[in-house]
């Protein structure tokens, strides 16, 4: 759920004038104690600009530290908190709050005109049929 004075991507600044993406930082401390995928919040909320999608990828500085950021797509009409899916090659691992580990790259996106479904703040597969079991 979005807090009253939530930050959005419009509050983010590129690191340099030539930066391809907007840096995303961890909203809180993250302690990884086992080999699995973790989801960490950024305290940044959608929606994105109309006609754009957001591609989340890892920052090279995080990768060199053994942090694996899994790519993710943020739809332009997603209104919830933008979150990062990640794992570490070294366990245990602690990532302090406000660590820039990912970047959000905005890309143009066209959606067919006949698509009229609205979405809210559900994330990570919230618009598909629930899945039980493992791939």
Range in 7-11, 70-74, 107-111 the model is least confident about: 107-111
Model confidence pLDDT, tens digit, residues 32-44:
999 999 999 999 9
Distance from C-alpha of 103 to C-alpha of 54, rounded to nearest angstrom:
9
Tokens of 43: 């305290």
Q: What is the pLDDT of residue 87?
A: 98
CA-based end-to-end distance of the chain: 30
Query: 33: which residues sit within 8 A by CB, 6+ positions away?
Result: 91, 92
DSSP state of 11: G
Can you list the domains of the chain with their CATH numbers? Answer: 7-12+20-108 (2.70.40.10)
Pairing of strands 38-45, 7-8: parallel
């Amino acid at each position: 759920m979005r807090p009253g004075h939530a930050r959005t991507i419009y509050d983010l600044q590129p690191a340099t004038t030539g930066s391809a993406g907007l840096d995303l930082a961890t909203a809180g401390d993250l302690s990884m104690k086992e080999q699995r995928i973790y989801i960490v919040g950024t305290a940044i909320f959608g929606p994105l600009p109309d006609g754009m999608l957001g591609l989340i990828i890892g920052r090279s500085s995080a990768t060199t530290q053994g942090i694996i950021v899994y790519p993710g797509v943020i739809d332009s009409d997603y209104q919830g908190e933008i979150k990062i899916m990640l794992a570490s090659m070294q366990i245990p691992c602690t990532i302090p709050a406000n660590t820039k580990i990912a970047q959000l790259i905005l890309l143009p996106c066209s959606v067919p005109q006949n698509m009229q479904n609205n979405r809210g703040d559900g994330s990570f597969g919230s618009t598909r049929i629930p899945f039980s079991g493992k791939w």
